[in-house]
Amino acid sequence: MDKNVGDVLAGLSPAALTLALARSAIKMQHSRAWRVDKSNAVHDLVICLTGSARYELDGVEQSLAPGMAMLIPAGSRFVGESLSDELYTGVAQHFTLTLFGSVDLIGQMNLRPVAAFRQWEGISAMVAHYRDMAPLSMTTLAQHHLFMVILLAYIESAFLGWKEGAGGALDSPDQLSVQIMLVAARIAADPLSAAALEKALGSVPFNGDYFRRAFRARIGLTPQKFQERKRMEMAMNLLSSGRKVKEVAAMVGIADPYYFSRLFKKHLGASPSCYRLDSRDGPDEVYVDDPEILVID
């Protein structure tokens, strides 16, 4: 399975993942005398801002210091105590993260229980803001969005690999969902390669027609159309840097700029010219009566 979780998650649309905050955020502020001994029915992400603490998670000792986060999986017993004279502060958030509405995504991963954020300098301000903004007895839309950013940063720092047999038995709907996620990631990682598409589809342990139908049901596009869309998203970024339409069309593997323009508008809802920088000083572009189509010498 793919080892880079960032690449896998980048291949998913936001609608593929559902984050639910099971309760209001816990604003940790503990003295040296603090102790805890409990378990939770859902996952719990604990992030340290100041001070330090020691935990025993499923019988294994873990230490937490500023810039570090600990994931307590659903159902895991943990015992914790503050270690420092300085206040042990931070935030703990109970949550679930499901793929396509049914698969526990966290449960498919091997994660370091405790990990230091790779970009703590930027993340620390978000965590502090998340702690400060959280109401005491409810969750808000802003919390959901901000916690998703924090959670993904932890996952990218803690990810070790996908669990063997992730998704369960071959006839399990969870296995199908996990395979769709991985194929979408492989297509998104190399959208210009027809061989990459065929290799990704050839790697799944399901009938090809059945898998394509399931892929479309969950992603909204067939694997081929999904690859097409990822090409257009790549083209959008190239256009925004000021490159000419004809040049970008060729870069994403489409020889006919007229066809490219129609395809671009079909997927992204606007003509390629809308994504170009204002500095259109090249002499080789001429707009015709239809503003959505470019004649390119």
What is the residue extent of each domain of the chain?
14-162
Looking at residue 275, its pLDDT comes to 77
Q: At what angle do helices 194-202 and 208-219 cross, to 10 degrees?
A: 110
Question: Cα–Cα distances in Å, from 20 out to 23, 41, 112, 143, 185?
Answer: 9, 13, 22, 10, 23
Looking at residue 181, its pLDDT comes to 86
Report the pLDDT averaged over residues 161-186: 75
pLDDT confidence tier of residue 6, bands split at 50, 70 and 90: low
Name the least confident of 93-97, 125-129, 185-189, 212-216: 185-189
pLDDT at res. 287: 38
| pLDDT, average across residues 48-67 | 95
Cα–Cα distance, 177 to 162 (Å, whole number): 14
Is residue 224 within 8 Å of 197, Cβ to Cβ?
A: yes
Q: What is the mean pLDDT of residues 214-237?
A: 92
The verdict on domain 14-162 having CATH code 3.40.50.10190 is no
pLDDT of residue 2: 53
- Measured CA to CA, the distance from residue 197 to residue 222 in angstroms comes to 11
When the pLDDT of each residue in the chain is averaged and rounded to a whole number, the result is 86
Average pLDDT in the 48-63 region?
Answer: 95
First to last CA, the chain: 45
Taking residues 219-247, what's their average pLDDT? 91
pLDDT of residue 196: 86
Reduce the DSSP state of residue 241 to 3 states and report it.
coil
Quick one: what percent of the chain has pLDDT higher than 90? 56
Band (pLDDT 50/70/90 cuts) for residue 87 is: very high
Residue 242: what pLDDT?
83
* Alpha-carbon torsion, ordered 98, 206, 170, 179, to 10 deg: -30
Q: How confident is the model at residue 8 (pLDDT cuts 50, 70, 90)?
A: low
Name residue 100's amino acid: F
Residue 294: the pLDDT is 46
d(CA 82, CA 85): 8
User: Stretch 157-186: mean pLDDT, rounded?
Assistant: 77
Structure tokens given for 161 = 């690999």
- In this prediction, residue 15 carries a pLDDT of 82
Rounded Cα gap, residues 113 and 158, in angstroms: 7
